[in-house]
Amino acid sequence: MRTFLVVCEQKSFTRAGGRLGRSQSAISLQVRRLEDQLGQSLLSRDPRHVVLTEHGEAFLPQARRLLRLNDDILAGLAADDVEGEVRLGAPEDFATLHLPSVLGAFARSHPRVALTVTCDLTLNLLDRLREGALDIALVKREPLGPDLGVRVWREPLVWVGLDSDIVRRDGPMPLVAAPSPCVYRKRAVAALEASGRSWRATYTSPSLAGQLAALRGGLGVSVLPREMAPDDLTILTGDLPQLQDAEIALIK
């Protein structure tokens, strides 16, 4: 991913290779592997210069955010010459989407560290941190709330459901969410009540997989970060209230 960003900056595989101290063919191979992983072409190549494809344009800001996240987490974990056990906590949804490659890189670069990861709701992670059961945690926080750790990620939240028909049904809005004290559940309920919409919990599960299954079954609507909205579900607009952005903070 870092190589892809340097190619975008230099607009040339050859110049990117000079910047990174690698051959043009090695740079091209790394970008090709990234494209294979994503299943999309990111760059249009010709003899003179490199141009981002439509998918490349969409991926570029995500790549920048992911690289910043990678650097922030690695710096937090390795601020000291760590060895032994490092206990990291993170919300399940964020960990599933963003952490595997970051933690894999950390494990490879710090072979003397035994990294253990616990996925839980934010308030539970904060309790574990205060109790000394975690060394470091990634938690969800309110953008306008009190400062809590160092912000490492921010992205829009969206309403998600099987299709738009579910929003037009009579009666209270059916809500699919994690149990309290989930931050996204709190955000969804606050937005609905502030707009005067009644709601009822139709499916409650701490598991992201369970929530997605309920959404695919048409059991209700939920709140997710935009990047986590699966292609087979619909991002809902229209009559639903606006949501504040999601923020992830790193706390030691």
Does domain 157-245 match CATH 3.40.190.10?
yes
Mean pLDDT of all residues in 126-139: 92
Q: Which residue has the higher pLDDT, 64 or 218?
A: 218
In terms of pTM, does the model score above 0.85? no
Residues 6+ apart with CB under 8 A from 241: 191, 192, 194, 195, 197
Query: Given this model, what pLDDT does residue 205 score?
Result: 94
Residue 171 pLDDT > 80, yes or no?
A: yes
Domains 72-155 and 157-245 share a fold: yes
pLDDT of the residue at 146: 59
pLDDT over threshold 80, residue 224 = yes
Whether the pLDDT of residue 145 is over 70: the answer is no
User: How far is Cα 172 from Cα 90, in angstroms, rounded to an integer?
Assistant: 32
Q: 72-155 has which CATH code?
A: 3.40.190.10
Gap between the Cα atoms of 185 and 46, Å rounded: 48
Strand 84-90 relative to strand 113-119, pairing: parallel
Note the pLDDT of residue 160: 96
pLDDT higher at 122 or 110: 122
What one-letter code names the amino acid at 225?
A: P
For residues 212-238, average pLDDT: 91
Structure tokens at 78: 């390795």
Mean pLDDT over 169-191 rounds to: 91
Give the pLDDT score at 77: 61
CATH topology of domain 2-71: Arc Repressor Mutant, subunit A (1.10.10)
| Residues forming a β-bridge with 160 | 222, 235
Query: Residue 194 is encoded by which pair of tokens?
Result: 């502030």
In the predicted model, what is the mean pLDDT of residues 13-23?
83
Is the pLDDT assigned to residue 154 strictly greater than 70?
A: yes
Would you say residue 163 has pLDDT above 60?
Answer: yes
Most confident range (mean pLDDT) of 39-53, 77-91, 97-111 is 39-53
pLDDT at 216: 96
Please give the pLDDT value at position 195.
Answer: 93
pLDDT of res. 96: 79
Average pLDDT over residues 123-129: 91
pLDDT-derived band at 210 (thresholds 50, 70, 90) equals very high
43 vs 28: CA distance, rounded Å = 10
The reported pLDDT for the residue numbered 227 is 79
Domain boundaries, the chain: 2-71, 72-155, 157-245
Average pLDDT score over the chain: 84
Contact status, residue 160 vs residue 229, Cβ threshold 8 Å: yes
The yes-or-no verdict on residue 78 having pLDDT over 70 is no
Percent of the chain having pLDDT more than 90? 29
